[in-house]
Amino acid sequence: MRCKPVARRLRNMAHVALLSVMGLSFAASVSAQDGNVIKIGVVSPQSGANSRYGAYALKGAELAVNEVNATGGVLGKKLQLVQGDSQCVPAEGVSATQRMIRFDNVSIIIGDVCSSVTLAMQPVVEQAGVLLLNAASSNPEITYRAGVGGYKWTFRNYPTDESRAAAALEYAAKKGYTKFAVLSVDTDFGRGAITFTKKYLPRYKAQIVSEDYYKETETDFRPVLSKIKYSGAQAILMYGLADTTPIVARQMHEMALGGKIELVGNAEFTNPSTIAAAPDVMNGAIETVAWLPSWSNPRSLKFVDDYKKAYGDVPNVHAYTHWESVHLLADAIRNAGSAKTADVRAALAKIHYESVMGPVTFDDHQQAVVPIVLLEVVGDKAVNEGVLSSRVDYSAH
């Protein structure tokens, strides 16, 4: 007797649940068919040790979306940003991507900043037939696996560490450095860059005298700096996090290593606040970058101005690459004359886009051939030591 009402209530609840699921899927199909917007997903770290990068990336993309929409959108449709938080953790990035694809019906995604996450996202978008344009990860494997390498749907509009590592090493060798210590972040970015640096070491008769990788939250570098001090290294190869560079620099300053051991690699060495943390250590640091705020192209300077007006601070390279990549996608959609994923993909493969750094084209691994800039810190300023092509010789791998 007492079971009946419970059973009935359960049945009613099941009905309600079924109806709400149907309602949700109806709503989802409506938004998928909603012809007035083109959704662009941005997967980036919005929390955790790399959230600084994610915040820049998202603001850059947002600025570009607003700019495109202010001029009437693309093909008469507005762009709409959908964001996901990867926390720089592969599993989180994959679930953010899946949520975007399944529930938000996004078919074009820009992501992630962290190489480890991008590598994990590649098979997910491949299976779903969703376009992934990476704008900030530099691990070489990402494009070794794309285009003729396998993954049809991954593109990258960012230089790979293979070309960056080669350029930085060449310049360091020119300055007479042959003994290097490795102190990079323990991720696919940090380790990948070093793997490819090792490939070029014999060319300059250079060697690695010590090799350490730090976890993203590390703050005490003294033991490893002591080791480097006694190893005879002339320079530290560092592919690391922007937030960590001031810590290492200040601890090197304490140990009076400034001017004795130089930093070479990529970890925002040329950022004014990093230089200010320990000017004697940062002086002489060599870095290869995809862009810098002082780049004297009028469109680039306008971007820096607009960004400052909108968000109050100077954009970093991730803000720039996400901003440029949204414009690049808008251009591809315009060229394709359709927002269908396959059409946009085809248009992207043969695009000739004029970026603020120079022309952008994609090679057969769907890797953008974009210029990279070699910088050296002199005094408290970053000095441009040359612009190089980032074309990768895949056969050499």
Partner 1 sequence: MGLFILEQIVNGIVAGSVYALIAAGMTMIFGVLRAINFAHGEYYMVGTFAAWYVISKLGIDYGTAIVLSVAISAAIAALIGRLVMQRLVNAPFQSGVLATLGISLILQNAVILAFGGGYKMFPGGWLDPVEFLGIGMAQQRIVLVGAALVMFGGLEWMVRSTHMGKSIRAVSQNPECCQIIGIDVEKVVRRTFVLGTALAALSGALTGPINVSLYGGMGESITLKTFAVIVMGGMGNVRGTLFAGWMLGVAESLVAGSIGLQYRDSVGFIALLLMLMCRPTGLFSPKARF
Binding site residues, partner 1, CB under 8 A: 46-49, 51-52, 55, 183, 186, 211-215, 217-224, 226-227, 230, 243-244, 246-247, 250-251, 253-256, 273, 277
Least distance (Å) between residue 43 CB and partner 1: 17
Least distance (Å) between residue 355 CB and partner 1: 28
- Per-residue CA distances from 326 to 15, 59, 73, 143 (Å): 43, 12, 12, 20
**Residue among 67 and 280 whose Cβ is closer to partner 1:** 280
Least distance (Å) between residue 380 CB and partner 1: 16
Q: What share of the chain is helix, strand, coil (3-state, %, to 5)?
A: 50, 20, 30
Sign of the dihedral defined by the CA atoms of residues 131, 135, 136, 140, in that order: positive
Integer Cα distance of 12 and 4 in angstroms: 12
Cβ atoms of residues 111 and 132 within 8 Å: yes
Buried b (16+ CB within 10 A) or exposed e, 27-63: eeeeeeeeeeebbbbbbbbbebbbbbbbbbbbbbbbb
Least distance (Å) between residue 387 CB and partner 1: 31
State both tokens at 231.
């190893």
Least distance (Å) between residue 251 CB and partner 1: 7
**Residue among 32 and 276 whose Cβ is closer to partner 1:** 276
**Residue among 278 and 333 whose Cβ is closer to partner 1:** 278
Integer Cα distance of 268 and 273 in angstroms: 10
Cβ atoms of residues 47 and 87 within 8 Å: yes
Least distance (Å) between residue 321 CB and partner 1: 19
**Residue among 99 and 253 whose Cβ is closer to partner 1:** 253
> For the chain, first and last CA: distance in Å?
75
**Residue among 231 and 341 whose Cβ is closer to partner 1:** 231
**Residue among 159 and 246 whose Cβ is closer to partner 1:** 246
